[in-house]
Amino acid sequence: MELATISFGQRFEITPIQMLTLVSTIANNGKKFTPRLVKATIDSQTGEKNEIETTEGEQIISQETAKKVLSMMESVVAEGTGKNAQVKGYSVGGKTGTSEDGVNTNKYVTSFVGVADISDPEVVILILLYNPTGEGGHQGGAIAAPIASQVLRRSFTISRSEKARNRRGNNRKYRNAKCDRNDC
């Protein structure tokens, strides 16, 4: 029975970081990047900041295949089981999941893995819930996808704020440079 269920993912087990790495690879046109959990470290004594660089790996999926899969993921959110992951103004792609947690346990693992914005991916997200209870049952599209929508909406808000702050900072530097030349 387990061999049969592997064909549709019911017994296929990978770690969350493996899932995120795979979706990131698809979002990066088939190029695998080594995942990082931390963008930078800051020495508490000196305040020195050490950026953790991303390392680009090899092309493990063809660009053509990656684009096709990304398009399929986009349709899951646009018109399929992932509709609840939509974020107004952004194109989100994803895959919902619902699987049994073990054999005959009557417990479930509910998930949504997604990527946004499809045209220029910046965020890959994985929501995993173990044995969710309450309204909506235990389906990934009903339980995990709405959480993904909320997290993505918030991350886009933060990203827009950071981009605006960087633009303002650059403009300030430019104005200060002009003033230093006595042009103001």
Query: pLDDT tens digits, residue range 36-64?
Result: 788 899 999 999 999 988 877 899 999 99
Tell me the CATH class for 2-180.
alpha beta
**CA–CA separation, 98 and 112 (whole Å):** 9
* One-letter amino acid for residue 115 of the chain: V
User: Where in the chain are the domains?
Assistant: 2-180
For 166, the token pair is: 């960087």
**Mean pLDDT of the residues in the chain:** 84
**CA–CA separation, 4 and 102 (whole Å):** 15
**CA–CA separation, 86 and 141 (whole Å):** 11
Instruction: Tell me if 85 sits within 8 A of 148, measured CB to CB.
Output: yes
Which long-range CB contacts under 8 A does 43-47 form with residues at least 24 apart? Answer: none
Instruction: Tell me if 88 sits within 8 A of 152, measured CB to CB.
Output: no
Q: How confident is the model at residue 168 (pLDDT cuts 50, 70, 90)?
A: confident
**CA–CA separation, 41 and 19 (whole Å):** 25
How much is the pTM?
Answer: 0.79
